[in-house]
C-alpha cells in the first residue's frame, strides 16, 4: 500500500521463509520476540520446545544462532539490539 507521497509502508510477509537472517535482510515483517529469547537463554534452564508445525521453531533457532554468531546488524530495531552486544555475548565469553 502506498501513500500520497509514493512511500510503501507495508512490509512483505515472510511466507515460507524459515531463516531469521533472510527475514531481516530482506526487510520482511518480523514480530519482535527477542525479549522472550533472551529470557530463555539467560534463565539457565533446559527447554523442550514442542510446538505444532509451522509455529516458528526454525526461526526461533536461527535467531538464537544469529545471537551467538554475533550478527548484531540483524537486531537493529529489536528489543535485543543493545542487550545482545553489550550484555549477553560478553557474559557467555569463554
Its pTM surpasses 0.85: no
Task: Could you list the beta-strand ranges (E) of the chain.
Answer: none
Distance from C-alpha of 24 to C-alpha of 37, rounded to nearest angstrom: 16
Rg of the chain taking only CA atoms, in angstroms: 15
- pLDDT tens, 54-88? 777 888 899 999 988 888 899 999 998 888 777 66
Amino acid at each position: 500500500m502506498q501513500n500520497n507521497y509514493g512511500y510503501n509502508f507495508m512490509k512483505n510477509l515472510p511466507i515460507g521463509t524459515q531463516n531469521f537472517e533472510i527475514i531481516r535482510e530482506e526487510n520482511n515483517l518480523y514480530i519482535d520476540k527477542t525479549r522472550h529469547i533472551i529470557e530463555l537463554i539467560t534463565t539457565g534452564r533446559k527447554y523442550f520446545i514442542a510446538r505444532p508445525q509451522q509455529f516458528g521453531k526454525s526461526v526461533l533457532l536461527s535467531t538464537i544462532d544469529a545471537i551467538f554468531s554475533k550478527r548484531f546488524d540483524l537486531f537493529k530495531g529489536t528489543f535485543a539490539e543493545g542487550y545482545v552486544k553489550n550484555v549477553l555475548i560478553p557474559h557467555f565469553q569463554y
